[in-house]
Amino acid sequence: MKLRRVVVTGLGALTPIGNTVPEYWNGLLNGVSGAAPITRFDASKFKTHFACEVKGYDPLNHFDRKEARKYDLFAQYAMVVAEEAVKDAGLDTFKLDPDRVGVIWGSGIGGLETFLKEISDFAKGDGTPRFSPFFIPKMIADIAAGHISIKYGFRGPNFTTTSACASAANALIDSLNYIRLGKADIFISGGSEAAVNEAGLGGFNALTALSVRNDDPKTASRPFDKDRDGFVLGEGAGALVFEELEHAKKRGAKIYAEVIGGGLSADAYHMTAPDPDGRGAKMVMKNTLEDANIKPEDVDHINTHGTSTPLGDIAEPKAIIALFGDYAMNISINSTKSMTGHLLGAAGAAEAIAAILAVKNDIVPPTINHFTDDPEIPVLDYTFHNARKRTVNVALSNTFGFGGHNACIAFRKFTQ
């Protein structure tokens, strides 16, 4: 069967460097670091004292007090960015068939804040079970997709993908394929995460996954730098409106880019570490190129997973070299996690937005915080220090998750 074409018609973002898409994009282009000492709780007894928190967020600017109590922070974030994306796409003013609009959302953890509070309160009590009736509905990872559909009355396919840090990218790829196959005309898709709390920080510290550069948080996220010592915990959300091309054209929608393919693979190697030779990463990019029906030399930009971890930052460049060969030096590669930190299950959405805007505007955001070359990391064009103007016809966005889950999605400049 002939697959239908899919385009991006709306965007929404809530990140540590900007609470709307224009603010986020401006922060990326200006190389702003979102890392700072944690304000939400006392982190002084933890190994890491800082994170990339969303700043200036007040739930009462978006929900009334009674409504806000029903949502975990990750679900609040989801609804905020979904609203921005729906408005940006003009869906709020256009008569839609609600049976043809779906929601596929990603979250690696879900309502961790709710889980932490309810269990902590129980542990401090006398053993009498006193749990909130909202405990389970607030905690479960699928609830964000449910709330978005309830708010707008969208009755199309609705579910959540959970694949650690690849969760949001998996949601986007599923949305792409459902539209391609004619199962729906529009999807609100993306991901959200809110794990900057004692459990999130303590858990990742116990894994020795986080940077402990407490003396200089702003430069702690150092992708591809010799002195990188772990990722910086982040939070936030990103939402994208994927729409069938003819449907979008019929209603006169603005189009950011075309979604031309997605790929999935597994490392099948280790619970938390990547395959050291990047075999799964190479395969997921190869699968994406094949799905998009493009050649390696068609790719201009890759927004890498680039977490600032000792092993991951070696494996991914190895994979790029293995797949693209000598052409790899022509690709502008970056890691926006150098600015936002790691948004976990929301990373794939936030980084897809960055890749789309790079295609739309012919500008590649920088990788900041590079000080010392690492001889173990292959030489590539990492777009260090400053944003770069260049033609970006095709961009890839990579996300890799604990458990060896790999996802990659491809965007192309829209032409008729």
Q: Are 259 and 242 in contact (CB under 8 A)?
A: yes
Q: What's the rounded Cα separation, in Å, for the pair 150 and 84?
A: 16
H or E, element range at 239: strand 236-244
Radius of gyration of the chain (CA): 20
Are residues 135 and 191 in contact, defined by beta-carbon separation less than 8 angstroms? Answer: no
**290-293 long-range Cβ contacts below 8 angstroms, 24+ apart:** 290/261, 290/263, 291/261, 291/262, 291/263, 291/410, 292/260, 292/261, 292/394, 292/410, 292/412, 293/260, 293/261
The candidate with the shortest Cα–Cα distance to 242, out of 119, 375, 127, 414, is 414
Contact between residue 221 and residue 33 where contact means Cβ atoms under 8 Å apart: yes
CA distance 96 to 150: 15
CA atoms of 123 and 167, how far apart (whole Å):
31
Q: Give me the DSSP letters along 348-388.
A: HHHHHHHHHHHHHHTEE--B----S--TTSPP----BSS-E
Tell me if 191 sits within 8 A of 171, measured CB to CB.
yes
The two structure tokens encoding residue 228: 């990188």
Nearest residue to 52 (alpha-carbon basis) of 38, 32, 31, 73? 38
Contact 159, 3 (CB under 8 A): no
Active site residues: 165, 305, 342
Q: CA-CA distance, 26 to 83, in Å (whole number)?
A: 20
DSSP state, 199? H
Coil, strand, or helix at residue 25?
A: helix
